[in-house]
Structure 1
């Protein structure tokens, strides 16, 4: 039995809740996963999982073994990292998950420089606007927007992304330009965004001085999409008025296909973080990737300096 591989398989099953999911995230056959767990249970003379047709539950003995297993694997990763750091040559695989617009317009265009600097790091980049299960999906780190609530994870601040309110030039030529946020529901179509996870429509926020207006576009006339790049396309195509990140809008503003409206009304910057599990903290390859991502996002940070905080 390859006990180290068996440990990694055991931890992945315990965290993901299933043999098949563990096999997929580790890229090993389902039969191999089952065989390794059987051999490990025989070696330990304890039952690590209670299995049924619907779910896999870690036993009491399995929970105790899990705590020791993750510590051992973290220590091994740290040991590898020490030697990698001494050679300045971290290696291994990193799986990162990032939203569509951030991947296409920020991360991927800069990635050749990272690959040149760290050629022995293999990156698997998952691109979607859905919220992934950082542990269960076997993802090393995610780039997430919004306020963070899970205190068990480590988060490094990337930027506060600037918003703008926009509409296609073709739409404005036909429907006119709104002069106040209240015009949007009364007289205009909304090109909106909704969560693929919850189905919740994103509200439109406007601030001018001390005045703040929140508009819930649910039920308004218009088109709503659940992917950020498609949302930008809906604005450019003239489907309505909506809010998106300023960096995404820039090329279309220059071409004249997109126009900023209500520029005196601002939406607060959107906080972005790169997030990873505490158990990954000592990974040399993840450290260099996180530091690199922070540098890449710096030019996109619109948060006033006194309000910037490191997490």
Structure 2
């Protein structure tokens, strides 16, 4: 066996896995379909195992293929980034960037910011995918994702962008009807609005801001009257007084300022949730990806300052 790995074959394998098709991979790589097929067959012969299960309708990874994908993707992305740093793209970024993000964050922050970015970089295309679940950025071929959780054992690169404070809020009409709660223990008698896409949405945990007064967090079970897997869908229910809810302050700050929502139990806090910018393994990234990530970090830092100013007024 040759001591030199088949780098081209692994890069082609990664592209086929990302696109789920030999034909689509060949089209994107600018190669003949037979060239792509032969490269994968060459790898399978070398490894003495199949990397894909092939049917007339579907192409899926075998266990060997799944175990190889992350490192093969790194070969593909590192090779593209090396060339990008040398050729014109390093000077004038161009090409497609695939970005996945939480729906509410994408609608409220990222999508409004992208026109400025694309005006600054007219040769860059952006494919923005909104989701309520965590994506597999390697297997699904994303260049980056904005998400709330990162698996601790992951080889992905994660940069903490923002910490989302999550106050407990309600419409004044609901408080007029049911009264103001005096502590977390009172919340069991209130109808609630919960985010159905997070783990165990019916358990709320509160910590007192004065640890000396109450050092132990309090967890309660709530009774949802309305569930939604999108933050924007929860806001009308909150404003109408259907129930109380815990929401990231960025999305409800205008309603808190104009009095359509009020914060309950401000001396108690629900644990904030960090927001991460996640990228695939490997240090090298194409210039088009680097400039978008830098832009998003700048824009989100600005949003944090604006949000803090809103809270101060």
Q: TM-score, normalised by structure 2?
A: 0.77
The equivalent residue for 1:272 is 275
1:217 and 2:218 aligned: no
1:83 and 2:87 aligned: yes
Instruction: Map residues 172-187 of structure 1 onto 2, 5 A cutoff.
Output: 172-185=175-188, 187=189
> Structure 1: which 5+ residue stretches go unaligned?
303-311
The equivalent residue for 1:38 is 37
Q: Is the 8 A contact 1:222 1:239 kept in 2?
A: yes
The equivalent residue for 1:51 is 53
Q: In 2, distance between residues paired with 1:223 and 1:33? A: 53
Residues 201 and 120 of structure 1: is their aligned pair in 2 closer, same or farther, counting only changes over 3 Å?
same
Instruction: Map residues 13-32 of structure 1 onto 2, 5 A cutoff.
Output: 13-14=16-17, 19-20=20-21
Residues 301 and 148 of structure 1: is their aligned pair in 2 closer, same or farther, counting only changes over 3 Å?
farther
1:128 and 2:131 aligned: yes
Q: In 2, distance between residues paired with 1:6 and 1:130? A: 32
User: What SS is found at the alignment partner of 2:221?
Assistant: coil
The equivalent residue for 2:75 is 71
Q: TM-score, normalised by structure 1?
A: 0.77
1:192 and 2:194 aligned: yes
Q: Deviations over 1:281-306 (max 9, x none)?
A: 4221111111111111114448xxxx
Shift of 1:68: 6.8
Q: In 2, distance between residues paired with 1:67 and 1:174? A: 58
Shift of 1:65: 11
The equivalent residue for 2:171 is 168
> Structure 2: which 5+ residue stretches go unaligned?
1-6, 306-313
The equivalent residue for 2:203 is 203
Residues 156 and 77 of structure 1: is their aligned pair in 2 closer, same or farther, counting only changes over 3 Å?
same
User: What SS is found at the alignment partner of 2:167?
Assistant: strand
Q: In 2, distance between residues paired with 1:289 and 1:298? A: 14
Shift of 1:195: 2.0
User: What SS is found at the alignment partner of 1:238?
Assistant: coil
| TM-align CA RMSD | 3.6
Give the length in aligned residue pairs: 288
Q: In 2, distance between residues paired with 1:63 and 1:129? A: 26
Q: Is the 8 A contact 1:160 1:301 kept in 2?
A: no
Shift of 1:240: 0.9
